[in-house]
Amino acid sequence: ITQPKPDTDKSKDDTKEPETPENKLPFTDIDNFEWAYTAIEHLYNNKILNGKSETLFAPNDNITREEFAKLVVSAFGLEGTSELKFKDVSEDAWYREYIEIAVANGVVNGVSEDEFGVGRNITREDMAVMILRAVNKTGTDTEIIIENPAELSDLETVSEYAKEAVEFMIKRGAINGINGEFKPKAAATRAQAAKILYQIIKIR
């Protein structure tokens, strides 16, 4: 039985594909990210995720709360509007519309009543929570459960509010961990965010 490989290693995708996919994307910095290539390609081609520039994807850069809100809203086709009370979300910010939609759909809350947390890196457990909320909101839950979900040694450190979401993601093979750990409080990278989101939306 092949053991699941970590998020940060060459990926176990259910689809058969070359060990090193031919890079058909414009990014010159993803050659060592075969494990996330299919996810990046899918999200980029479907206009869900952009690079940091025309030629750089910046896979190891952390992803912020507002950036991930945009990804989830775009990936699940969420719509709606809400009256924001967050002092750190300016009227003309590029992310305001996405946060409004995400809040309207119950996908994300602020870090406090009057602060969204703009610019803060999203944690791996919060990323899982946002995805599960979007799945529940859109009715796209799937019964697909993988045979050999990852066994991670630090799940007791997952915040209580995130336990259901993390378990959901593990059972569906979207989370495999890093060296046997989930690292719930660690900041998520752009490559990790792409891979985990793709693993869920590809089976919708």
pLDDT score for 121: 97
Whether 195 and 39 have beta carbons less than 8 Å apart is answered as yes
Distance CA 43, CA 3 (A): 26
For residue 36, count CB atoms less than 10 angstroms from its CB and return exposed for 0-12, middle for 13-18, buried for 19 or more: buried
pLDDT at 21: 61
DSSP codes, 72-130? HHHHHT---------TTS-TT-TTHHHHHHHHHTTS---SBTTB--TTPBPBHHHHHHH
Tell me the HSE value of 182 on the side-chain side, using a 13 A CA sphere: 30
Please tell me the distance from the alpha carbon of residue 105 to that of residue 6, in angstroms, as a whole number: 31
pLDDT for 17: 46
Rg (CA), the chain: 16
Q: What is the pLDDT along the chain (204 residues), one digit of tens a residue?
A: 444 445 554 444 444 444 556 778 999 999 999 999 999 999 999 999 999 999 999 999 999 999 999 999 999 999 999 999 999 999 999 999 999 999 999 999 999 999 999 999 999 999 999 999 999 999 876 677 788 888 999 999 999 999 999 999 999 889 988 899 999 999 999 999 999 999 998 865
Is 26 in a helix, a strand, or coil? coil
CB atoms within 10 A of CB 69: 25
